Amino acid sequence: MTGRGRFIVLEGAEGAGKTTGLVCVRRALDHHGVRVITTREPGGTPLAEAVRELLLQPRDEPVDPLAETLLMFAARAQHVATVIEPALDRGDWVLCDRFTGSTYAYQAGGRGVDGEVVRRLAELVHPRCWPDLTLFLDVPPRTGLARARGDDLFEPDRFERERLAFFARVRRAYQERAAADPRTVRIDASQSPDRVREELAAAVARFAASAGCSPRAAAAT
């Protein structure tokens, strides 16, 4: 396959299993012989990672929802301009942990920022850079938070300290966008890890086939 690469995003709230999911998706893409870079949001560049620290660090000062949204897009502008767009233009595939779908879910759905503000900022920051495939790991908030908080090394960031009602709004926003976007595949992340991996791999295989990529032949034994 030649030409512009493909942009794949993994979305989901806390405890959905995105870290394991990224590994699974990366392996599935490698199996189809495409060049892949893996990145994350907010972050992906030194400057964007510094903004990430500002956004996630717990603080006594309340953060205005619009200020939070603008910081998200500031990091995204740098990320898109210096990492994502150049990679896609080279013909590489980009696998990203979160993108603007998270802003619709967390800032519009969770915080109550006007969705039109998010849309206009997205059109300004990445007018031609939208996911070709979004894999949405959907899990009930209670389940996801119990998973996340069950980790002995868990140290909640500023978002993870929110109440259950916040994450219920986040999930509802994710679900509404997934239902309206034919490029989004919803996967029930409350299933067994093996079943989630199977569904992720199947979704990637279908997408890769639609892009003209064939799986590599198994090595002879």
pLDDT in tens, the chain (221 residues): 568 999 999 999 998 999 999 999 999 999 999 999 999 999 999 999 999 999 999 999 999 999 999 999 999 999 999 999 999 999 999 999 999 999 999 999 999 999 999 999 999 999 999 999 999 999 999 999 888 887 766 788 899 889 999 999 999 999 999 999 999 999 999 999 999 999 999 999 999 999 988 887 543 33
Q: Collect all residues with Cβ–Cβ distance below 8 Å to 70 and sequence separation of at least 6.
A: 121
User: All domains of the chain, ordered by start, with CATH?
Assistant: 7-210 (3.40.50.300)
**Stated pTM of the model:** 0.93
Residues 189/12, Cβ–Cβ less than 8 Å: yes
Q: Please, is 147 exposed, middle or buried when counting C-beta atoms within 10 Å of its C-beta (0-12, 13-18, 19+)? A: middle
Residues in the chain: 221
